[in-house]
C-alpha cells in the first residue's frame, strides 16, 4: 500500500511536466488599413502586442503627421495563462509622395515588423459630386472581368459635415454575388478645396455569367450636425447621396483555360519556413505560403504536399488572411506540415505546381514551387539506411487531407509519446492502488495480505479463474481470483 502511494505521487508530479511547454510572448504585429493612399489622405497604423505599453511613434514624425492615438485591451488565455493583449491605432498623414517604409517600432521592449506604404501624388481629377456636403463614389478594380472572377468593389462616402447617424447600402446586382469584406476604413481627404471625412467600404463582387452586368448605385441616408444658423434657417440636418449606377462587361471563360478555373492578377508560392535538416523519427515543420492577388477567401486553391516515400506528412489547418490591396482582394494562405522521416538519408519534397489564368495578359500561367532535398540524420532507435525507392508508408494515408480550413494561430507539431506513456503509467498506478484498497477492505481486521482465513485450508492456485475474472468480472471478482 505504501509503495503504491509513493508510485502514484511520483506519477502525479511527472505528468504535468510531460505536457507543459514554454510560454512565449507574442511578437508585436503591425499592419495598415490600406497599403496605398493619395497624398493628403490619412492611413491607420495598427499594432497588436502583449501588455499595455504604447509604441514609440517618434521614428515616424519625419515622414508623417500623427494624430488620433487610440488603444483597446482585452484579456486572452495563452497556454492556460491569462495575459493582456492590446491593439494600438494611430492616424498617419504622409508628408510626401513615394514609397515610405514604416520602421520597426519599440513596443514594451519588443520590436514590430516593418510595413511599406505607397503614397501617390494628388490626383487632378476630382470625383463626381465633389463640393457637396455629402457625395458617394463607387470604383471597380476591373470594368471588364471574366465570369467567376473576384472583382474588388470600393464604395467611398465623402462627408464635409460631421455625421450623427446614417445608413450606407450597396444593392447587389442581378447575376452576381456581392458581399462586404472586412471593416470600414476611415480617413480624411481634401477635395475641391473642402476637407472631407471619408468612409471606405469594400465589397467582393463575383459575376456568375458573361455579358453586361448592371450594378446599382450605392445609397446613403443620414443626419449631420449642422451649425446654429443652419437650424435657424430651417435647413435641418438630413443628408442623402446616391452614386451613379455602373455597367460591367463580363467576359466568358476562354476556351482551353486550365481547370479548375482560377482567374487572378498574380499567384506566388514559396517556403516560409524550412528546416535545414531532419532527424529520423522526429517531427520537423515546413510552412508553405501562397499569395493570390485577385482572389476571394473561398477561391484560394488548397495547399497540399505530394506523397514522399519514407516520410509521414501531417498537415495542419490552413491560415487564411484576406485583404484589399490596390482596390482588389488579395488572399494569403499559410499552411504548416509536420514531417516525420522513418530513416536516415535524404528525402526530396517534390515540386508543387498550381495553374491559373492571368487576367492582365489573357493567358494561362503556372506557379511552381521548386523541389527541395533535405538531409535526414539518424535518430535514437531507428534504422540508419534510407527507405528503398518506391516504398511508401502505409500509415501515411492522404498527405493532403485537410484537417480543417479557416483563420487559426500557429499549431504545434504532433506531440511525442512521452506524455502518453506517463499518462498510461499513471492510470496503471491508480488501478493498482484501487486493487490494493479492495484487497485490504475484503480482508478481516488484523489479517495480513497473503494470510489464509483461520480454520480454512489455502486453496490451490487456478490461473484460469484469474483470466476469467479479468475478462468478464468486476473488481471484486478479480480480488477473489487473486
Domain positions in the chain: 26-121, 134-250, 260-414, 418-444+461-481
Distances (CA, A) of 106 to 28, 29, 35, 47, 109: 9, 11, 21, 11, 6
Instruction: Read off the pLDDT band of 241 (50, 70, 90).
Output: very high
The CATH number of domain 134-250 is 1.10.490.10: no
How is residue 21 written as a grid cell? 511547454
Closest CA to 330 of 31, 94, 96, 114: 31
CATH of segment(s) 26-121: 2.60.40
User: What is the tens place of the pLDDT at every residue in 252-295?
Assistant: 999 989 999 999 999 999 998 888 889 999 999 999 999 999 99
pLDDT given at position 382: 45
CA atoms within a 13 Å half-sphere pointing along the CA-CB vector of 468:
7
0.85 exceeded by the pTM? no
Instruction: Read off the pLDDT band of 450 (50, 70, 90).
Output: very low
Q: Is 65 helix (H, G, I), strand (E, B) or coil?
A: strand
With a cut of 50, say whether residue 215 has pLDDT above it: yes
pLDDT given at position 6: 52
> In 160-232, which ranges are E strands?
163-169, 176-180, 185-191, 194-207, 211-215, 219-224
User: What is the tens place of the pLDDT at every residue in 131-175?
Assistant: 899 999 999 999 999 999 999 999 999 999 999 889 999 999 999
Instruction: Read off the pLDDT band of 2 (50, 70, 90).
Output: low
* ∠ Cα 398 403 408 (to 5°): 145
* ∠ Cα 274 275 279 (to 5°): 145
* Domains 26-121 and 134-250 are alike in CATH topology: yes
Are the beta carbons of 118 and 99 closer than 8 angstroms? yes
With a cut of 50, say whether residue 399 has pLDDT above it: no
Closest CA to 324 of 39, 120, 36: 36
Mean pLDDT of 429-434: 67
* ∠ Cα 375 381 383 (to 5°): 50
Give Cβ neighbours of residue 453 (< 8 Å, ≥ 6 apart): 444, 447
User: What is the tens place of the pLDDT at every residue in 336-354?
Assistant: 999 999 999 999 999 999 9
Are the beta carbons of 354 and 367 closer than 8 angstroms? yes
Look up cell 488548397; give the residue. 302
Amino acid at each position: 500500500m505504501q509503495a503504491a502511494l509513493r508510485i502514484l505521487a511520483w506519477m502525479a508530479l511527472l505528468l504535468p511536466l510531460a505536457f507543459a511547454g514554454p510560454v512565449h510572448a507574442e511578437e508585436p504585429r503591425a499592419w495598415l488599413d490600406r497599403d496605398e493612399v493619395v497624398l493628403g489622405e490619412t492611413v491607420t497604423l495598427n499594432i497588436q502586442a502583449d501588455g499595455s505599453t504604447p509604441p514609440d511613434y517618434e521614428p515616424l514624425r519625419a515622414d508623417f503627421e500623427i494624430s488620433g492615438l487610440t488603444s483597446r485591451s482585452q484579456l486572452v488565455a495563452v497556454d492556460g495563462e491569462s495575459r493582456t493583449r492590446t491593439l494600438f491605432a494611430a492616424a498617419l498623414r504622409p508628408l510626401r509622395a513615394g514609397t515610405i517604409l514604416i520602421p520597426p517600432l519599440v513596443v514594451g521592449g519588443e520590436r514590430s515588423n516593418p510595413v511599406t506604404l505607397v503614397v501617390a501624388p494628388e490626383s487632378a481629377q476630382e470625383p463626381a459630386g465633389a463640393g457637396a456636403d455629402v457625395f458617394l463614389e463607387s470604383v471597380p478594380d476591373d470594368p471588364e472581368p471574366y465570369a467567376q472572377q473576384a472583382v474588388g468593389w470600393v464604395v467611398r462616402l465623402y462627408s464635409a459635415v460631421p455625421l450623427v447617424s446614417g445608413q450606407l447600402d450597396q444593392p447587389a446586382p442581378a447575376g452576381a454575388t456581392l458581399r462586404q469584406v472586412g471593416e470600414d476604413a476611415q480617413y480624411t481627404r481634401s477635395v475641391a478645396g473642402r476637407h472631407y471625412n471619408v468612409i471606405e467600404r469594400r465589397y467582393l463582387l463575383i459575376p456568375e455569367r458573361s455579358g453586361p452586368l448592371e450594378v446599382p448605385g450605392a445609397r446613403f441616408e443620414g443626419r449631420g450636425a449642422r451649425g446654429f444658423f443652419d437650424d435657424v434657417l430651417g435647413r435641418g440636418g438630413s443628408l442623402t447621396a446616391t452614386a451613379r449606377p455602373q455597367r460591367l462587361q463580363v467576359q466568358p471563360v476562354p476556351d482551353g483555360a486550365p481547370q479548375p478555373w482560377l482567374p487572378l492578377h498574380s499567384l506566388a508560392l514559396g517556403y516560409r519556413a524550412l528546416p535545414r535538416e531532419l532527424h529520423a523519427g522526429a517531427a520537423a515543420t515546413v510552412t508553405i505560403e501562397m499569395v493570390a492577388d485577385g482572389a476571394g477567401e473561398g477561391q484560394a486553391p488548397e495547399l497540399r504536399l505530394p506523397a514522399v516515400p519514407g516520410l509521414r506528412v501531417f498537415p495542419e489547418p490552413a491560415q487564411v488572411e484576406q485583404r484589399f490591396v490596390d482596390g482588389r482582394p488579395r488572399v494569403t494562405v499559410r499552411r504548416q506540415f509536420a514531417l516525420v522521416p522513418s530513416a536516415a538519408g535524404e528525402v526530396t519534397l517534390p515540386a508543387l505546381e498550381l495553374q491559373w489564368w492571368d487576367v492582365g495578359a489573357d493567358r494561362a500561367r503556372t506557379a511552381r514551387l521548386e523541389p527541395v532535398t533535405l538531409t535526414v540524420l539518424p535518430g535514437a532507435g531507428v534504422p540508419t539506411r534510407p527507405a528503398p525507392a518506391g516504398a511508401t508508408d502505409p500509415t501515411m494515408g492522404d498527405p493532403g487531407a485537410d484537417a480543417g480550413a479557416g483563420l487559426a494561430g500557429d499549431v504545434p507539431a504532433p506531440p511525442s509519446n512521452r506524455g502518453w506513456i506517463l499518462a498510461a503509467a499513471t492510470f496503471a498506478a491508480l488501478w493498482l492502488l484501487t486493487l490494493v484498497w479492495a484487497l485490504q477492505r475484503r480482508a478481516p481486521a488484523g489479517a495480513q495480505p497473503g494470510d489464509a482465513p483461520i480454520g480454512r485450508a489455502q486453496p490451490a492456485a487456478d490461473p484460469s479463474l484469474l483470466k476469467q475474472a479479468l475478462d468478464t468480472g468486476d473488481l471484486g471478482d478479480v480480488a477473489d481470483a487473486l
